[in-house]
Structure 1
């Protein structure tokens, strides 16, 4: 039975004749080569500078006037976890699902990778120890800081990495009173001197960081230090100008962050809120560009949320914690409902009744390290239940796993000859010429079409991929059409990764799949133009725990000219 042959045709064609274009004529996303030369040059110079940083004499250049006291202490805007803090008080450092004892850490017996080490060296966990609220927590935190200062006097590629350094400076300044209260004068003197040394290095090394959320973090750190360290107020005007510039460059007109990663969106918004807060504390006028950026970014943060309150998994994001997202939105104090379309960032959102579809309609950002090759992928949820997902992001040490999670096949989209639509590099960047992505959103009579295409396979295979997704006015009928247009025969697979809570069963000789959601409701996927099968998959919604799941794969081979596959997801009545 050609069950999906009417997808986006027959019953929809009449409506298509009268459809209203609500956003724009098909927009063209910029090619990835733009601004790449400058960023690559910046990165190359940093690697040369590292030779100087690790030299035996470099530490002497960080000497300077020793601060006697802080002129102000920034407010801590984000709540800590007393449960995590209690573990730290007891000597257990747990990051990225891996625990190391303080004793093992002190003698170098920890088997950890750069991501884990970055969490440790950032001191983000000081807010958790502060949340415990006991003198024992304060004393233990001070011990950890003292041990760190002894063990990290020389430059190290992780502990002195600009983004990690920026986080640590902000955390030490914010929690200076918590750490120092009751300490002897020797600790206070060394503590402030160490902060000053770190700031001097950050002023040098921070300039090499590519434009993105890490550079925003560095600018925040330099503002904090300029306001808190004596004789540093002269640096404030320069950093405020940098904030104003970054607010325009990094927060796009639709509110999306240039890294196109929901987690980066939240981090950027948190940085902007922190900067606004510290400027208010210092009674310095808030730049209009900063406030406008916050007002734009907050609705876009809502855009990325599924019905369960967590983030969709695009470009390295994790689900995150819904309560934390709520806190960020509350702190932003910016009104605005979730957008339906983010043309500058490259995403579309269709929310009808209980059904939500979020589609990636943009080329991967060359800015964000760890960008994924998931162009034209989509996620779908029903109420609080995730149904179609991307596989997520891997934060562990295994390079093979990291590359696999960034691959096109780890996303709910079409893959040609098991090749990525973009070149994925081990250093976390996107290589190759990239692709042009065109997208158009159309609405009529409560129905929505998303029409998108990319030419990421043109250079390697001589073909282009077009995807059309249709959601009807009830949200109970979601249909799609994937078209390959070009020369030659190529194997393709259209992947629909399922959330682990969804149970799937294959019926009708590969033409239909039944899906059972946690609330016992049922959906049916039908297809034509390819053979459907169920295969194993994995899900890394939190970036740490690997969960087994399944994926629907529609397989076939393209022919000369246009090859079309149609599929439909329909809610089963009465279930």
Structure 2
């Protein structure tokens, strides 16, 4: 049987004596949508074409759709969760016009209804229902084009049951983005589903609470994950479209929260339009990020001095620097927080120069668990490490332990340059030393000066010299050539002039490194490593990046 014929068979099964038909009945007054939101964000055409070819792909995982059984797929991993959420409808729409796409999407939706529509099970998790509402309504032409009244009734009545389920369970979703997603879905259902307006006020109140508990005062998520921040902007953009479809005004509190979220996201985007790599994430795809930002319907300037979000941004004539100037995220808000305090990334135009190693984020990966854990260490970030240890402990269960608690930050901007001075206490408990980093970016964007200091702090006193290393991981297309005196390097790259690096106070080496690219793949690269020692009295290491023209 062909794929199209199989899809039609699923729809026929719904219409002819299926459990769903018996549950909903033919005599019930049919529900209808009051409006169809317009999703202004384009999907991934390649993924959509793979869907049409029967393959659901994300990262290293693949689900064969030919004999898809949602009950068997369950929620085993990120790929299964994405399939259950129906966010793939966006990719399908990028690859297929309505007629062809609807035949495919209705077949998949029919299989979901058979597996999960008649009972409340794991697929009814509140955040998944929130996603389902947002995408089922935005892509109604792809899942509600069928002339089969049994199928249409089953889907719309299940959507209504999902809204009632969210009404009772949205606050049971995990804190952070999952809870925000659940409440956003309830609001969208109230706006768009016949008879749901009574839920809108309750949904808005719940969403405001969820945002207040998950966002810092400047709009960044407490998980401090740029990848999750991108998803937050996307969810709020879809909700905004639901308000417009219902001819309702977005409340000022939600409009402000969405604009702040976008501003925080802009603050961690590098010159190539992709994300800086923090909290186990990677750059992502610039075209997807720009499409999402353009399509969300909001406009905001990059957040530069983000005390709550925790990322400081310096920029001058195309040179961009993003620095982690805060403790790692709270364990309850982060799946995979990293020991990255005081690290930075640097780009010149669209050319990345200094990076962090990054990680797979929420993508399925074939990377060994030991490597994924190593990518979260301090040494995998462009900052100072002491005795090859982490500034915040990473425990065997992958949670974060003791370490950085306080990160005082001062910043100044004048006609000559922008300066950031920050310090952390992550090495005080073990070594009696605090790490302070000062950065200064000239207003012509041509020179970055840095100074790393280890200063005595607390009662602990080390008795012997302890090794230190200041690492600058380089982008894969940056070639580093050492200078004859061993105290510098020339950095050449395809998309920017050469940069000269110099250091003092320790010896410079060039070593191998790795990074995780925007597709979640492991890529080899190099790193500049300043190595030295410190006593209990502390020390300082100065360095400089200067563009040659």
Displacement of 1:381 in angstroms is 0.5
Q: How do 1:58-77 and structure 2 match up within 5 A? A: 68-77=30-39
Distance 1:260 1:122, change over 3 A: same
Match of 1:133 in 2: 97
Match of 2:349 in 1: 383
Match of 2:246 in 1: 282
CA distance in 2, matches of 1:278, 1:134: 20
Match of 2:81 in 1: 118
Match of 1:405 in 2: 375
CA distance in 2, matches of 1:67, 1:211: 37
Which of 350, 358, 365 in structure 2 is aligned with 1:392? 358
Q: 8 Å contact 2:323–2:343 — kept in the other structure?
A: yes
Match of 1:264 in 2: 228
Which of 436, 449, 453 in structure 1 is aligned with 2:423? 453
Distance 1:180 1:111, change over 3 A: closer
CA distance in 2, matches of 1:98, 1:107: 16
Displacement of 1:201 in angstroms is 4.6
Q: 8 Å contact 1:371–1:430 — kept in the other structure?
A: yes
Match of 1:40 in 2: none
Match of 2:6 in 1: none
Displacement of 1:467 in angstroms is 0.8
Q: 8 Å contact 2:50–2:56 — kept in the other structure?
A: yes
CA distance in 2, matches of 1:524, 1:122: 48
CA distance in 2, matches of 1:311, 1:203: 35
Q: How do 1:424-573 and structure 2 match up within 5 A? A: 424=394, 429-432=399-402, 434-486=404-456, 487-488=461-462, 489-508=465-484, 510-519=486-495, 521-573=497-549
Matched, 1:191 2:155: yes
CA distance in 2, matches of 1:266, 1:253: 17
Q: How do 1:36-435 and structure 2 match up within 5 A? A: 68-77=30-39, 78-103=41-66, 106=69, 114-131=77-94, 132-152=96-116, 159-203=123-167, 205-366=169-330, 367-394=333-360, 395-397=363-365, 398-424=368-394, 429-432=399-402, 434-435=404-405
Displacement of 1:377 in angstroms is 0.6
Distance 1:364 1:378, change over 3 A: same
Query: How many residues matched?
Result: 510
Displacement of 1:436 in angstroms is 0.5
Q: Looking at both structures, which has the greater relative contact order when contacts are Cα pairs under 8 Å and sequence separation is at least 6? A: 1
* Unaligned 5+ runs, structure 1: 1-62
The root-mean-square deviation of aligned C-alpha atoms, in Å, is 3.0
Match of 1:16 in 2: none
TM-score where L is the length of structure 1: 0.80
TM-score where L is the length of structure 2: 0.84
Distance 1:198 1:110, change over 3 A: closer
Q: Deviations over 1:282-305 (max 9, x none)?
A: 344432211222333333332222
CA distance in 2, matches of 1:344, 1:437: 11
